[in-house]
Structure 1
Amino acid sequence: MKQIYITAFAALVWLCCSVKTQAQDLKLSKLTLAYKRSSFHFLDKQASPNIYQANLNGVSIGYEHAGIKSRSFVNVQAQTGTALPKGLGARTYTFTSTNFSGETTSSQFVHAPTLYLGQLEAGYLRKLRTGGTKEMFAGIVLQEWLGYSDNIGMWSTWANSFATLNAAVQYEKKLNAKQQIQFKGAMPVVALVSRLPYSNVISDPEHSNFRAFFKEGTNLAFIHEFQKISLGAAYQYRLGRHWQTGVAYDFQWLHAQNPQAITAYSHAAHLQCNYLF
C-alpha cells in the first residue's frame, strides 16, 4: 500500500511538472535586444533630384508575449548613418570671398549629411489555424516611421513621418525542440503622412518647429496616396531555459505622392539575443 501511495504521488508530481512545462511553452514572454545593420535608399523629389543611399547602424529593443491563441508585441528601432547621393559621394564645396582691403579668403564644406531613422511598432495577432509544428496568425500592426536629416540636397531639412495601421500575417514553424523559423508581412490600410510643405520651410511663430511640422504637414492618406510593404524572416535557436539567439532579415518599401513624390526602400540584417520568461 505504501508503494502505491509513493507511485501515485510521483505520478502526480510528474503530471504537475508536465502541465507547468506545457503552460510555459504556450504562454511565453520574450525580451529582445538586437544589433541592426541596414542599407537605405531613397529618392525624395521635394528635397533633391538625386537618389541617396545610406549604410546604417542601429539597435532594436522589443517585447513579445505568446499566448495560446495570440501574439502581441512592441518594438522600437533607432538607426543612424551618412547619406550620400549615388554616383557622387561626399561633395566638397569651396566658398571664396574678398573683403574691402582686397584680401581673398576661402573655406571648404564637405556635404555628407547624417541621417537618422526610427520606427515604433506594436501589434496584436490571432491564430488562424495550427497543424502540428506550423502556426498561422493574422491581425493588426501599428507602425510609426520617422526619418530626419538637416542637410539633404542643398542644406535643406529633410523630415518625414508615416504612421500606419496595417493588416498583418505571420507564419511560424518549429523545426525541432530548439529551432524555429518565422515569416511575416504587413501592408497599410490607412496612414497619417507628415511631410514638410512644398516650400520646405515651416512658418509658425506661435509654436515650435516640431509641433508646427505635424500641425501643418500631416494628412490622412489611403492606399492610392500612400503605399508601404513590410516583409520579414527570422531564425531562432534556443540555448537554454531562458536564453535564445537568432538572426533576422527585413525589407521595407514605401511611396508617398504629395506634396512631391518620395520612394524609399531598405533591407536590414539583425543579430538577436532573446531572454525568455
Structure 2
Amino acid sequence: MTDTPAIPLNDGNSIPQLGFGVWRLEESDAPRVVGAAIDAGYRHIDTAQGYSNEGGVGEAIRQSSVGRDELFITSKLRNDHQGYDSALRSLDESLQRLKLDHLDLFLIHWPAPKHDRYAETWAAFVEAQKQGKVKSIGVSNFLPEHIQRIVDETGVTPAINQLELHPAYQQRDIREFHRDRDIQIECYSPLGGQDTGLFENEAIVEIAKRHGKTPAQVIIRWHIQQNLIVLPKSSKPERAAENFDVWDFVLSADEVNQIDRMDREDGKTLPTPEDNNQLF
C-alpha cells in the first residue's frame, strides 16, 4: 500500500490528495463500505450533512483499526443551515453524529446566492476554526465572485473549493483564480458520470490498455498529475480499492495532453452554483 501524497493548504495544514467520497451511500451501508475503503488505504473520507450518512461514517471510523489522527474527515454544511448561529449549531450536530471532537475540514456545500447567507456563514466558519472544532475551512461550488466576497468581508481565504471537475469539464477558466490565491481545488464527480462517455473514450481506453489499467484509474491519475485533490466514490469495495491503485504508473506528457483536449462546453453534469438555491 502506498501512502497518499499530501497537498499543503494555505492555513498550514495538509490534505491527502486522494479521498473517498460517500455521496448517495446509504447510512446503513456506510460502516461496511467506508471501513473497506480505509482498509484499502484511503485516509481521507468526504461526507456531508446532505448525504444523511454522517452517523454511518462515524461508525466506520470507530470500528477501524486506523487511529483518528491518521484520518482526514470532511463534512459540509447543508443549505438550510446557513446563517451565523445556525451554522455553528449545525457543526456541533455533525460532530455529535460522527462522534468526533473535531473535523479536519468543513465546507459550505453551496453558496445558494438567492438566500444571501453564505457570507455570514463563512464568518461562523472562521469562528469555529478559532474554537478548534475544525482544523481547516473551505467552500464547495463557489464561483470566484462568491469567494472574493467572503474574503473581503472576513479577511480569511478558504483553504479548499470543492468543484465538479473531470476531463469533460476542466474548469480551466477559474483554476488560475484559485492558484493565485493558494486555494486548493478538490474534484467531485472526477470520473464524469455516464453522460460524458469518458470510460468509452477511445483515447482513454487506449491509454488504459497501454498501462494495464482501467479507464477510471487513468482519469484519477490525470487529476493527481495536475496537483488536484480527487474524490472518486463507489459503493463496491473492490471498485474503491481499484480506484486507489493508481500509484504505480505515470501518464506521459502526451497522454496528459490527449486528456486535456477532452474539455468541452457541455461537459458539466450537475447543477451550477447559481442555479442550486434549494434548501436541503
Q: TM-score interval w.r.t. the shorter chain?
A: under 0.3
TM-score, normalized by length of structure 2?
0.24
Higher strand share: 1
Higher RCO (Cα < 8 Å, 6 or more apart): 2
